[in-house]
Structure 1
């Protein structure tokens, strides 16, 4: 067994590493109090005063949207962005009024993001090496229904607002969505319960968090795909777990939400839908044993509770995956109000609302 880094992170420390954006609003504007009081501009869906806010923009993106409008003027096309940046009024940005349908917004964002990719404008986020070629949904109400024109058969009146390239979502501070699942076993012997959980190591070729530990199965939810459909897909692609095993044994048990700022300073609020598979006692383990398939996982290890805690406290997990593990340990009763002094803080932080009322 390899030795682990000499770090001793608390459960609250692990939450802080992931839920690391703390907004405040005053007369001068909206800021992230935890990041040099950087001023942020809300992104609205339309120019209407009643428009919902769908994202948050860093100064670098606001400046780029100004440049995009200048470019549009120079080439004789309509501007994409309505920008109100007068210091005497609350700052805001939005799509121009003519971009009034999901398909129009999607087309505009597709052209924009692909051009930024091809010109190398933000290579650390959506450059060629970071490009995912996967569309993510953006909703008028980020905490509302996950509908889609392909599922509804129409696009008017939906919560779905448009879709955009996955890698570029953090540039616009829009909420993204994923699904995570833990496959675990609990064994009771001599009155004691022992826990083991399947933990993968991310491939070194992954564009994000290479080599870190992950949840048994995890993935972002593409536009137009239901949560459970995505889970089934990821189980086979990442872990070789058959669909009938997932359908029969998985349970939707939780969701966690947090506001994450990346190491490069980009804003990524996320909601993760959480599932479990508890391996039944006395059954063949083979159907529940994950195996790498699509190259996104280096290997899987069936980790003991003690080893799991060492890995967590050593900071070896991808930040949001550590939160999913903490959520699991709370639900299974391994972290309790009596054993964890920050229990209430942790519970509340695992189910945050991104300070959405301040946007």
Structure 2
């Protein structure tokens, strides 16, 4: 595979909006329904729902009526009615009911819903007992905005934080999720040639996703109530046995990548990954930067050369989004350039996509 092939694997959603709604042209033109935070005409879009989820949310409302409890969902599925709302955007919509007007209320509603779907194995391939992560992910009113939280701010009102939900269920609601990826590497000049080596782990065969594939030196999701960098520090200690003081002194933020991934079963994963580099400095004990398996999520680490990384990438041996992080590293370090890569601008733009969010 070439670099653009690798990007295509991970960034594979292509949206089209017309007078009848929003569609993914790459997946049998399935109509997707925007999920809004509230019933207000000025509410923000926070996710995209597949028809099977919309149908299930109808059943959830029927269940609420039968049990004598308030409905969670406001469903506007008639296009003519929808045209009168949401800034005159055509097509159907779903939102939280107005009584769910705080992050705590929305979080509680989603907790009950997702745990019940887990226990009944309604969507076992996504959030069933074997897929359940027991990790809470933050959902934001503006997915490109600040990562705040009531615990950090000391209040619920006026925040970008909208609610939190179980990590494995995020794909059911098409909400944007966030992660951190770091590369530990060195780069020296040998006989006039730059020589790059990167620490690359092999994922444990027991991992629920992508077992046995290659990963970035350290990578993980950003849990609710934890800052981006502190999430990285935690993952470094848990996954790679790298001490926190080493990361705080030698690691720097170098950007982000974003892509819209859809599984072969149709589940939606728009993701933003914050990227960090740790360059092994000369005249410092390299053992401080040598990762070692710790929590059982990694089988082993290899200090791979640039040539070996290229072969592994082209062979599809990397977890798809981790392959994109390696491509981003190659671009930033000057190994992929406009002169040696004919798809350079396509790759750069696709690595920093906006999920066609303006069409949601």
TM-score interval for Structure 1 and Structure 2 normalised by the shorter chain: over 0.9
The equivalent residue for 1:92 is 93
Measured in 2, the distance between the counterparts of 1:184 and 1:322 equals: 15
Q: Partner of 1:264: helix, strand, or coil?
A: coil
Q: Partner of 2:208: helix, strand, or coil?
A: coil
The equivalent residue for 1:13 is 5
The equivalent residue for 1:27 is 19
Measured in 1, the distance between the counterparts of 2:118 and 2:265 equals: 17
Alignment of 1:290-305 (within 5 A): 290-305=291-306
Alignment of 1:116-135 (within 5 A): 116-135=117-136
Residue 86 of structure 1, CA deviation = 1.0
Which piece of structure 1 moves more, 340-349 or 281-290?
281-290
Q: TM-score, normalised by structure 2?
A: 0.97
Q: Partner of 2:270: helix, strand, or coil?
A: strand
Q: Which runs of 5+ in 1 are unaligned?
A: 1-8
Residue 52 of structure 1, CA deviation = 0.3
Measured in 2, the distance between the counterparts of 1:58 and 1:82 equals: 16
Measured in 2, the distance between the counterparts of 1:28 and 1:217 equals: 43
Residue 165 of structure 1, CA deviation = 0.4
Q: Partner of 1:315: helix, strand, or coil?
A: coil
Residue 254 of structure 1, CA deviation = 1.0
Residue 168 of structure 1, CA deviation = 0.3
The equivalent residue for 1:267 is 268
The equivalent residue for 2:236 is 235
The equivalent residue for 2:107 is 106
Residue 53 of structure 1, CA deviation = 0.5
Write out per-residue CA displacement over residues 204-235 of structure 1, whole angstroms, 9 at most, x where no aligned residue. 11111111100000000000000110010000
Measured in 1, the distance between the counterparts of 2:74 and 2:125 equals: 26
Alignment of 1:1-359 (within 5 A): 9-88=1-80, 89=82, 90-359=91-360
Residue 298 of structure 1, CA deviation = 0.5
Measured in 1, the distance between the counterparts of 2:79 and 2:141 equals: 26
Measured in 2, the distance between the counterparts of 1:92 and 1:242 equals: 47
Q: TM-score, normalised by structure 1?
A: 0.97
Measured in 2, the distance between the counterparts of 1:115 and 1:270 equals: 25
Residue 282 of structure 1, CA deviation = 3.4
Write out per-residue CA displacement over residues 15-50 of structure 1, whole angstroms, 9 at most, x where no aligned residue. 000011111101111000111101000000001111
Q: Partner of 2:186: helix, strand, or coil?
A: strand
Q: Which runs of 4+ in 1 moved over 6 A?
A: none
Residue 283 of structure 1, CA deviation = 2.8
Q: Which runs of 5+ in 2 are unaligned?
A: 83-90
Measured in 1, the distance between the counterparts of 2:178 and 2:191 equals: 42
Measured in 1, the distance between the counterparts of 2:190 and 2:73 equals: 63
Residue 281 of structure 1, CA deviation = 2.1
Residue 285 of structure 1, CA deviation = 1.2
The equivalent residue for 1:6 is none
Measured in 2, the distance between the counterparts of 1:283 and 1:177 equals: 32
| C-alpha RMSD of the superposition | 0.7
> How many aligned residue pairs are there?
351
